[in-house]
A and B are shown apart, each in its own frame.
Chain A
Amino acid sequence: MTATYQLSHLGALESEAMYIFREVAATFERPVLLFSGGKDSVVMLHLARKAFWPAKLPFPVMHVDTGHNFPEVMEFRDETVSELDVRLVVASVQASIDAGRVVDEPGVSRNRLQTTTLLDAIGEHRFDAAFGGARRDEEKARAKERVFSFRDEFGQWDPKNQRPELWNLYNGRHRPGEHIRVFPLSNWTELDIWRYIDAESIELPPLYYAHHRRVVRRDNMLMSLCEWIQPAEGEEVLEAMVRYRTVGDATCTAAVESAATTAAEVIVEVAATRITERGATRADDRFSEAAMEDRKKEGYF
């Protein structure tokens, strides 16, 4: 606190996010926080905790589980929810496949299938607001997303017909069956997230920091070997020092070479990096110019 009464930029972003959490808790009946164990959702959960302290979170968290997980992330997820004493809802893509709601194509990422599972779970639990960790700096379709993003009864986003959002007066009104996606981290950048993780000593799944891993180089990305990723003919298995910039479905999230073992070291790398985090590590965003835009319209995160 200084005599100029000016918050730091992280302080301003934190305060804005806490304000958004409290607005939703005060005006919605059944909110849920989407929690994957990825760094953005971990930061989001930390901010939610701050917003309601010393009370517990007034809503559950939900993981949309593709079944293709990094074991370290699942372990982290379970430890976190038990420590915070918060209810975890797991929405399973495998269950959607078994029920015939979606068709799993072998060798293809389950990323897109998550949309059906997510929307089914929102309907089943009658959630009226879902907090997501998306940031506007991630991608150009996200750059135009509102903080309170209205979804119709089919869960769809209509980018051409969004509600104007003025000052900090968020309009969350909706009819039964419709819902609002809420993005408290809208104005954060990747570097802000890391600076905040460092400043607040927020714990992350270990694969966000440099570690040894067996990988193959595929489409110029380092994919970790696991149950679902095996070397194809002619692919060489490398032992590399890597970390993850994003953590999603294990079949479509790549690692980057890194020596950073602390948040402070990651910040140095992120500040120097010249490639966006989605461009570097997400096979799913590279298949078309408008990949994210199309998935978002269908109701994706």
Chain B
Amino acid sequence: MELLRFATAGSVDDGKSTLIGRLLFDSKAIFEDQLEAVERASLQRGEETNLALLVDGLRAEREQGITIDVAYRYFATPARSFVIADTPGHVQYTRNMVTGASTADLALILIDARNGIVEQSRRHAFLASLLQVPHLVVCVNKMDLVDYDQGVFDAIVAEFRTFAMRLEVSDLSFVPVSALVGDNVVHRSAAMPWYEGSSLLHHLESVHIASDRNLIDVRFPVQYVIRPRDDSHHDYRGYAGQMAGGVLKPGDDVVVLPSGWPTKVKAIETFDGPVGEAFAPMSVTVRLDDDLDVSRGDLICRPHNRPHAGQDIEAMVCWLHPAPLRVGGRYTIQHTSRSARAVVKDLAYRLDVNTLHRDEAAHELTLNEIGRLSLRTTVPLFYDEYRRNRATGSFILVDEATNATVAGGMMLDPSQVTG
């Protein structure tokens, strides 16, 4: 059974909470005591059982009727296990959406059939594409309120496809649903015979995710050096880490960066015994033929397939903190298992997430804004273009004074002139 992580985006009005409540309820991930609590709360409000209340969060949120943070929810069917990163639509939308999308295999965007595509739908689609979420599913919700009209659905699909041509979306699907009634959520609906696709849940269960990971470029960032120092493992040196790309096998010729020394993989070990191959996201321990000086932050790759190495980084960043980014600012950069200091050399432009317009006169980024930066780091980083590898192409910036995480970044090809 596989694990699928997906991010949902939308506002309360789109029926997102109702949709998630419906998925959990119909797939029997909701327990009786949770349902009773919802029934009590609905009764108190004088409503019929409101499935949206199933995904209600903290007291402050209930009091203010808003969602303030990403919430993670879990359910499973016989086919797959699911992790939902449920991101709020209104407050701090970009920060939360980016957080949820960063680990997602799939993004689910809700559109109210009555309103069609609104600014927020475009923003969510753009962020999913910026974060390179491999699959995008657009749920056209509240079909019951437009008499299950195929024309309404087709018009939204056509408009969205036109807009999506400006984005990098490799897999785009559309499902007409009514979360409230349950049409096409878990079961195919008889109310929309013109729709020939699968229900949302069936789509989530069957979307092909096996080829989303990079299995070409071997990337093994050394995370931790294992040295038992006891009698039975006197000379043992193992390099522990999580595979970030490619397929690594014992006997493979490799180099260790930054030294560039060539060696061979002696063995790939785990607590359960040696393995014949390792691929992302396996956590393993790699042993090398030669006794080299390897430490955390180094990267093992194949001699003829190396990542970019450099101190001048070009990246798209999303600013996550109330104190704005300024050119000349200094931060700590965390990239794979490597940390360094970085100074912001230039802000090429700020991107308007609604219109995709580039404001080249911008000199700062404030909370929830996205822009293209040039950074200079104190030591070289070994990285890939984010588009090619999400694990070796992403970083965060940390404020050195407050220790706050202030930005998430996606690296660009250094030879790229515009982007």
- A residues apposed to B, CB below 8 Å: 1, 4-9, 11-16, 18-19, 22-23, 25-26, 49-56, 136-137, 140-141, 143-144, 159-160, 162-169, 171, 173-175, 186-187, 189, 191-192, 273-276, 279-280, 289-290, 293
Is B213 among interface residues, defined by CB-CB distance under 8 A? yes
Is B241 among interface residues, defined by CB-CB distance under 8 A? yes
- Give the residue name and chain of the B residue nearest to A150 (CB): B403
Shortest B218–chain A CB gap in Å is 13
Known pairs A8-B2, A15-B282. 17 more at Cβ < 8 A?
A: A5-B210, A5-B215, A7-B282, A22-B224, A53-B226, A53-B270, A54-B228, A136-B73, A140-B57, A143-B71, A143-B73, A159-B60, A167-B394, A167-B408, A168-B391, A274-B31, A276-B34
Shortest B338–chain A CB gap in Å is 11
Majority SS of interface residues in chain B?
A: mixed
Shortest A99–chain B CB gap in Å is 32
Are A274 and B32 closer than 8 Å at their CB atoms?
A: yes
> Which candidate, B114-122, B271-279, B354-362, is the interface stretch facing chain A?
B271-279
Cross-interface CB contact of B283 among A49, A51, A54, A140, cutoff 8 Å: A51
- Chain B residues in 8 Å Cβ range of A22: 223-224, 240-241, 283
Are B76 and A191 closer than 8 Å at their CB atoms?
A: yes
Known: A165-B99, A175-B403, A290-B59. A56 touches B283 (CB 8 A): no
- Give the residue name and chain of the A residue nearest to B32 (CB): A274
- Chain B residues in 8 Å Cβ range of A144: 57-58, 69-72
Are A26 and B403 closer than 8 Å at their CB atoms?
A: no
Is B175 among interface residues, defined by CB-CB distance under 8 A? no
In Å, the complex CA distance between A144 and B96 comes to 12
Are A166 and B283 closer than 8 Å at their CB atoms?
A: no
Are A173 and B283 closer than 8 Å at their CB atoms?
A: no
- Chain A residues in 8 Å Cβ range of B59: 289-290, 293
**Would you list the 6 A-B pairs with minimal beta carbon distance, nearest first?**
A279-B33, A9-B3, A18-B283, A173-B403, A50-B271, A55-B228
In Å, the complex CA distance between A18 and B80 comes to 22
Are A173 and B332 closer than 8 Å at their CB atoms?
A: yes
In Å, the complex CA distance between A192 and B82 comes to 12
Are B31 and A279 closer than 8 Å at their CB atoms?
A: yes
- Chain B residues in 8 Å Cβ range of A136: 72-74
Is B334 among interface residues, defined by CB-CB distance under 8 A? yes
- Chain A residues in 8 Å Cβ range of B279: 5
Are B1 and A187 closer than 8 Å at their CB atoms?
A: no
24 contacts between A and B (CB under 8 A): A5-B210, A7-B282, A11-B282, A15-B283, A22-B240, A25-B224, A49-B271, A50-B272, A53-B226, A54-B238, A55-B227, A55-B228, A56-B228, A144-B57, A159-B69, A164-B99, A164-B405, A165-B99, A166-B102, A166-B408, A167-B408, A171-B405, A274-B32, A275-B32
Are A16 and B281 closer than 8 Å at their CB atoms?
A: yes
- Give the residue name and chain of the B residue nearest to A163 (CB): B405
Are B398 and A26 closer than 8 Å at their CB atoms?
A: no
Is B129 among interface residues, defined by CB-CB distance under 8 A? no
Is B236 among interface residues, defined by CB-CB distance under 8 A? yes
Are B276 and A1 closer than 8 Å at their CB atoms?
A: yes
In Å, the complex CA distance between A97 and B1 comes to 48
In Å, the complex CA distance between A12 and B283 comes to 9
In Å, the complex CA distance between A52 and B225 comes to 9
Is B199 among interface residues, defined by CB-CB distance under 8 A? no
Shortest B225–chain A CB gap in Å is 9
Cross-interface CB contact of A171 among B1, B76, B282, B396, cutoff 8 Å: B396
- Chain B residues in 8 Å Cβ range of A50: 270-272
- Chain B residues in 8 Å Cβ range of A143: 57, 71-73
Known: A5-B215, A22-B241. A140 touches B394 (CB 8 A): no
> Per-residue CB proximity of B278-293 to A under 8 Å, as 1/0?
0101110100000000
Are A26 and B80 closer than 8 Å at their CB atoms?
A: no
In Å, the complex CA distance between A163 and B143 comes to 38
Cross-interface CB contact of A26 among B57, B223, B227, B242, cutoff 8 Å: B223
Which of B76, B215, B229 lies at the interface centre, i.e. has the most chain A CB atoms within 10 A of its CB?
B76
Are A5 and B223 closer than 8 Å at their CB atoms?
A: no
- Give the residue name and chain of the B residue nearest to A26 (CB): B224
Is B320 among interface residues, defined by CB-CB distance under 8 A? yes
- Chain A residues in 8 Å Cβ range of B282: 7, 11, 15
> Per-residue CB proximity of B44-64 to A under 8 Å, as 1/0?
000000000000111110000
In Å, the complex CA distance between A281 and B236 comes to 46
Are A167 and B247 closer than 8 Å at their CB atoms?
A: no
Which residues of B, 252-281, contact A by the 8 Å Cβ criterion? 270-272, 275-277, 279, 281
Shortest B403–chain A CB gap in Å is 4
Cross-interface CB contact of A5 among B74, B247, B320, B408, cutoff 8 Å: B247
Is B83 among interface residues, defined by CB-CB distance under 8 A? yes
In Å, the complex CA distance between A186 and B56 comes to 19
- Chain A residues in 8 Å Cβ range of B277: 1, 5
Shortest A281–chain B CB gap in Å is 11
Cross-interface CB contact of A169 among B95, B209, B230, B334, cutoff 8 Å: B334
Are B73 and A189 closer than 8 Å at their CB atoms?
A: no
- Chain B residues in 8 Å Cβ range of A49: 271
In Å, the complex CA distance between A24 and B354 comes to 39
Shortest A275–chain B CB gap in Å is 5
> Per-residue CB proximity of B130-155 to A under 8 Å, as 1/0?
00000000000000000000000000
Shortest A297–chain B CB gap in Å is 10
In Å, the complex CA distance between A42 and B272 comes to 18
In Å, the complex CA distance between A174 and B401 comes to 10
